Amino acid sequence: MPTIVVVGVLVAAFVFFANIYADVLWYGQLGFAEVFWKENLSKAGIFAVAFLLMAAAVWLSLMLAHRSRPVYAPDAQMQDSLHRYQSQLEPIRRLLMVGVPVVLGAFAATAVTSQWQQVLLFFNQVPYGEVDPRFGMDLSFYMNTLPFLGLVVGYLISVVLIAGIAGLLTHYLYGGIRIEERGGVVVSRAARIHISVFAGIFLLLQAANYWMDRYATLVSQDGRVAGALYTDVNAVIPTKTILAIAAILVALLFIAGAIGGQWKLPLVGSAMLVVTALVAGGIYPFIVQQYQVQPSEKTLEQQYIQDNIEMTRMAYGLDDIQVTPYNATTDTARDALAKDSATTTNIRLLDPNLISDAFAQLQQFRTYYRFAPTLNVDRYRVEDKVEDTVIAVREVNVDPTDSWVNQHITYTHGYGVVAAYGAKVAAGGRPDFMLGGIPTDGVLGDDSTYEPRIYFGEFSPEYSVVGGPEGWAPRELDRPQDESGAGDAKTTFQGDGGPSVGNFFNRLVYALKFGSTDLLLSGDVNSESQILYDRTPKDRVEKVAPYLTVDSNAYPAIVDGRVKWIVDAYTTNDNFPYSTAQQLESAVRDSLTGENRANALSGQVNYIRNSVKATVDANDGSVDLYAWEPDEPLLQAWQKVFPTTIKPFSEMSADLMAHVRYPEDLFKVQRELLGQYHVTDPDDFYESNDAWSVPNDPTEPTIAVKQPPYYLSLRMPDQENETFSLTSTFIPATSAGSQQRNVLYGFLSAEADAGTEAGVKSESYGTLRLLELPRNTVVPGPGQAQQNFDSNTNVSAQLNLLRQGASEVINGNLLSLPVGGGILHVQPVYIQSTGATSYPTLRKVLVSFGDKVGFADTLAEALDQLFEGSSGAETNEGEGGTPAPGEEEPTTSTAEQRLGEALEAANAAIQAGQAALAEGDFAAYGEEQAKLQQALQQALDAEAEITGEPVAPPEGEGAEPTESAPEEGNG
């Protein structure tokens, strides 16, 4: 048995060591060993201090109580009870005197170790440079000092309570505290002193708590708005001061009682403290709130609401927002868009949320590749013009049921970037690719201009073993030789992407970490092998910067000949005075998050800054952190902790700067707050008579979920040139029991373009621009625009025709744009058949301005329908007949064209038939019905060719109309 126990302990110790050693190798290979050692040494130091405090206090309490035990001949009752316990405990007393403090200390220290970040922030804090409006304390006091003091005082209170209880139990077990039938409770002098000292220390700590509670009112979220309000300032804060002083006085009484042997004064003082706490801490503030504040709340709370507005806008970066009244019109006129070519040429028709299947069908080439379900929007310069671009990387797709060799040795990486124009499509409504194929080629470059192999991505395998010496036969499947599929090339990873597993010990460590004997025994692992793991960009950034909150969306870009994942990261806090807190999970949730993208933001904050831009190399996994807001005080504090891990943004290349954009999750948090905090007058804010909300996504009719923000290149009315921006809209907030008014009240944009100069951030980057629309003009919001589309007779008729057979009509993202003196809504319409290899193709474009609707094959035609036959708009759309290099030519393009032509002919027949029927020309009506049936049959034939399946004709096809055409002579 001893041998088994020793072996078990050694195995457990080695497994524990193996996990630590694996982390040492991982951080060391990545160049962030400083983070690993400082984080873990900090945790160890906090654990040691907390452990010693708790263990020493409990041991001292136990030891003093035992040493001062009374010595006398116990009576019969005591002999029957306590003496029995003493007899049982005495043989193991020494073990318990050590073991109990050690166990309690370990548990308590483990709990407090998780607060290592708060401890480091306190000791490395940097002044904010602004003070709060009540106490005049620097804001860093609330963000860094107050939480640390609360942690220390709270822990010391637990130490005193646990140690005091341990001492009381010991006094009781050894007779220092006795319960007698006639004498009641008898307490020895030693026990009385023991109790008095611990009670006094507890009350002193409670006094510190009361004193800190004064400051904590400024970060409270319990009132009408966040922060200290009238009752807090005039009742709570003064009473907390009184309670702190009273607690100190009662603590002194306990100490005096311990010396003089008197209990009366301490007990009376304790009772008075309890009564004071109930009256001054609870009843008095309630009376003030109920009978003084509520009848005059608007007047009394005005100053505090103003403080909340100003501090909340400061905490979320809303204090510099540019608000412009926008007297939006709903009237259309010829050439109304002639001055808005900067925006209309960049209207994005390609919906990144729908076209992943199109990318897969046209650019995947192999089943071992895949694309993300939601693609990303970026911009690239092509022939001196910046083009909005929908971009994705071709990631590896590993079958989890495949062999260990295939999962971890063969299929190790994806290959190549695929990008398409955002504002135009190719023939048949397919994406017009700027870069694609294998080998990749296009206007953005080819395999010789960037490294196409994607070892680190959002869907990479759990781990891969790569690399080998010279002359090593390649094991990794690299890519198809070409698009024709004539064999696959193999490769060996070149570079430094992960820890070495070239020696037996490292292989053993990682075999234990991943629970794989194959890793230990495989002959495909060699002396130069590396192991790649923790490969998603967000995971890598979170590990090397655990003090940052990472945005939920990492996006790829070609930067300086490498594919880089660009990741936004935030410094956050939940103790900014007078700032309203946000639950990040709900603030960033929209129709895209949760299903196609995992939420990285979590928890509650009332302060956030996009302090860091990070990049992760898709080929070797290297991580670079750049201080994007170098003056941000929390980031400066962390730079003091980890001085070598974060680079200045002046080291960012021009190519990287060109692809930095304003982060989505920060924008979502800001737009959520702007629903209330666009109002800066405290009286209007109190009345909530102009509250806004983010509209629900109109393309998701079955669920109520917010519309996501959209990246667009546009020119706002107060801008000289177009810029790449992130946009969203606002509609009136709905009060309980009232009906939603889906009319537009606001349009928000964030300038997302950081510039193209190396190490220089554009001064206008991050500028928030808010257009406020007049309340007396009914400008349709996204939901009402969608309703106008769906209820339009012409649109419904054509969409119903497109739905004939096995086709599905899919509404793309509904974009809202401030052009033509009003708001233009644009929605691409996609058609997808039901075949296994089908994908959405852009077929129509819906537009609306005011209540008018346009619906045509192209954006230009649809706009002309809106604006009296001529919109004056310049568009960038086009239908090229030649596929991009490497693009797979779909076999269904000709049939799709015939389907579209047939549906257009059917729609024309319907219109002409209705006109003939209105004029009573039944002969012409019959001719149009015949044309309709012929067009429908042609559409069905084309549909059958596309899907490869026969499509049943509509019910009643070929039958004469019985109700729609009345008999001649019956009127």
* DSSP, residue by residue, 608-650: EEEEEEEEEETTT--EEEEESSTT-HHHHHHHHHSTTTEEEGG
Burial classification of residue 470, based on how many CB atoms lie within 10 Å of its CB (0-12 exposed, 13-18 middle, 19 or more buried): exposed
Tell me what pLDDT residue 124 has.
96
* pLDDT of 893 above 70: no
Tell me what pLDDT residue 883 has.
45
Kindly indicate the confidence band of residue 961, based on its pLDDT and cuts at 50, 70 and 90. Answer: very low
Mean pLDDT value of segment 419-424: 93
Tell me what pLDDT residue 882 has.
38
749: how many CB neighbours lie within 10 A of its CB? 24
Residues 340, 333: Cα–Cα separation, whole Å: 14
Does the N-terminal peptide bond of residue 133 adopt cis geometry, omega within 30 degrees of 0? no
Q: Do the Cβ atoms of 104 and 54 come closer than 8 Å?
A: yes
**Cα separation values, 580 from 227, 309, 632, 904, Å:** 8, 9, 20, 54
Helix (H) or strand (E) holding 538: helix 537-544
Q: Which residues contact 341 (CB under 8 A, 6 or more apart)?
A: 873, 874
State pLDDT tens for residues 99-136. 899 999 999 999 999 999 999 999 999 999 999 999 99
Tell me what pLDDT residue 568 has.
96
- Transcribe 689-708 into DSSP letters: TT-EEPPB-TT-TTS--BPP
> Residue 296's closest CA among 238, 226, 230?
230
Lowest average pLDDT, out of 184-198, 240-254, 362-376, goes to: 184-198
> Residue 936's closest CA among 802, 841, 799?
802
The 3-state secondary structure of 754-814, one letter per residue: CCCCCCCCCCCCCCEEEEECCCCCCCECHHHHHHHHHHCHHHHHHHHHHCCCCCEEEECCC
State pLDDT tens for residues 375-393. 999 999 998 899 999 999 9
> Residue 361's closest CA among 946, 949, 951?
946
SS3 of residue 446 by DSSP: strand
Mean pLDDT value of segment 645-658: 96
Question: Would you tell me the crossing angle of helices 264-278 and 237-260 to the nearest 10 degrees?
Answer: 170
Kindly indicate the confidence band of residue 889, based on its pLDDT and cuts at 50, 70 and 90. Answer: very low
> Residue 856's closest CA among 807, 931, 798, 813?
798
Tell me what pLDDT residue 625 has.
97
Residue count of the chain, please give it. Answer: 971
Q: Which pair of tokens denotes residue 550?
A: 């990472």
> Residue 144's closest CA among 125, 130, 117?
125
Q: Which pair of tokens denotes residue 957?
A: 């096809």
Angle at 297 between CA 292 and CA 301, to 5 degrees: 105
Q: Which residues contact 296 (CB under 8 A, 6 or more apart)?
A: none
* pLDDT of 803 above 60: yes
State pLDDT tens for residues 281-325. 889 999 999 999 999 999 999 999 999 999 999 999 999 999 999
State pLDDT tens for residues 576-609. 999 999 999 889 988 887 555 555 578 899 999 9
Question: Looking at this protein, which amino acid is placed at residue 912?
Answer: A
Q: Regarding predicted confidence, which is higher, 235 or 269?
A: 235
| Phi and psi, residue 876, nearest 5° | -110, 10
Residues 771, 824: Cα–Cα separation, whole Å: 14
Helix (H) or strand (E) holding 511: helix 504-514
Tell me what pLDDT residue 885 has.
44
Q: Do the Cβ atoms of 768 and 749 come closer than 8 Å?
A: yes
Mean pLDDT for the chain? 87
Q: Do the Cβ atoms of 609 and 627 come closer than 8 Å?
A: no
Question: Looking at this protein, which amino acid is placed at residue 71?
Answer: V
Q: How far is CA 524 from its chain centroid?
A: 39
Kindly indicate the confidence band of residue 914, based on its pLDDT and cuts at 50, 70 and 90. Answer: confident
Q: Name the region of 413 (left: φ>0; alpha: ψ -120 to 50; beta: rest).
A: beta
Q: Which pair of tokens denotes residue 928?
A: 């149009």
**Cα separation values, 365 from 396, 397, 438, 486, 814, Å:** 12, 12, 8, 11, 31
Q: Which residues contact 687 (CB under 8 A, 6 or more apart)?
A: 298
> Residue 768's closest CA among 625, 652, 683, 669?
669
Residues 122, 112: Cα–Cα separation, whole Å: 15
Q: How far is CA 760 from its chain centroid?
A: 27
Q: Which pair of tokens denotes residue 104?
A: 């309690």
| Phi and psi, residue 423, nearest 5° | -100, 5
Residues 428, 896: Cα–Cα separation, whole Å: 7
State pLDDT tens for residues 197-216. 899 999 999 999 999 999 99
State pLDDT tens for residues 743-776. 999 999 999 999 999 999 999 999 999 999 998 8
Residues 649, 629: Cα–Cα separation, whole Å: 9
Kindly indicate the confidence band of residue 258, based on its pLDDT and cuts at 50, 70 and 90. Answer: confident
Radius of gyration of the chain (CA): 36
Longest dimension (CA), the chain: 127
State pLDDT tens for residues 923-934. 777 777 777 777
Kindly indicate the confidence band of residue 704, based on its pLDDT and cuts at 50, 70 and 90. Answer: confident
Question: Would you tell me the crossing angle of helices 33-67 and 116-123 to the nearest 10 degrees?
Answer: 100
Tell me what pLDDT residue 81 has.
62
> Residue 697's closest CA among 706, 687, 710?
706
Kindly indicate the confidence band of residue 881, based on its pLDDT and cuts at 50, 70 and 90. Answer: very low
Q: Do the Cβ atoms of 840 and 359 come closer than 8 Å?
A: no
Tell me what pLDDT residue 190 has.
84
Tell me what pLDDT residue 956 has.
42
| Phi and psi, residue 284, nearest 5° | -60, -50
Q: How far is CA 176 from its chain centroid?
A: 58
